[in-house]
């Protein structure tokens, strides 16, 4: 069976949305153990459709830059007043 680019695009989109909701990209082993991962997206299917986990991440970065930015958004720092009150106590 040939892999269509539509399958790849849909898989990249679905996993980008899932990782954006989670706020991080897990390792392949952690992803396999997640009970709430997308239904038909186990690691074997990802490797069959995309080729590898690394290729998936590259495609996510290239095809979904807005979601990639959300996933890799740095944690918000505490405001200066919160830092000051934490230092006093």
pLDDT in tens, 70-88: 888 876 655 666 666 666 6
Q: Under the phi-then-psi rule, with left for phi > 0, alpha for psi from -120 to 50, and beta for the rest, what region is 72?
A: alpha
Tens of pLDDT, residue by residue over 11-26, are 999 999 999 999 899 9
The pLDDT assigned to 1 comes to 53
Residue 41: burial class (beta carbons within 10 Å; 0-12, 13-18, 19+): middle
User: Do residues 50 and 56 make contact, with C-beta atoms less than 8 angstroms apart?
Assistant: yes
Q: What is the pTM of this model?
A: 0.77
DSSP 30-73: HHHH-TTS-TT--HHHHHHHTS-HHHHHHHHHHH-HHHHHHHTP
- Calculate the alpha carbon distances from 13 to 45, 76, 81 in Å: 15, 26, 40
Tens of pLDDT, residue by residue over 28-76, are 999 999 999 988 789 999 999 999 999 999 999 999 999 999 888 876 6
């Amino acid at each position: 069976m040939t892999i269509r680019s539509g399958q790849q695009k849909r898989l990249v989109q679905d996993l980008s949305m899932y990782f954006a909701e989670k706020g991080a990209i897990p390792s392949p082993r952690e992803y396999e153990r997640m009970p709430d991962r997308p239904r038909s997206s186990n690691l074997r299917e990802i490797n069959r459709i995309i080729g590898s986990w690394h290729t998936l991440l590259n495609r996510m970065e290239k095809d979904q830059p807005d979601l990639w930015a959300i996933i890799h958004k740095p944690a918000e720092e505490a405001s200066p007043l919160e830092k000051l009150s934490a230092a006093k106590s």
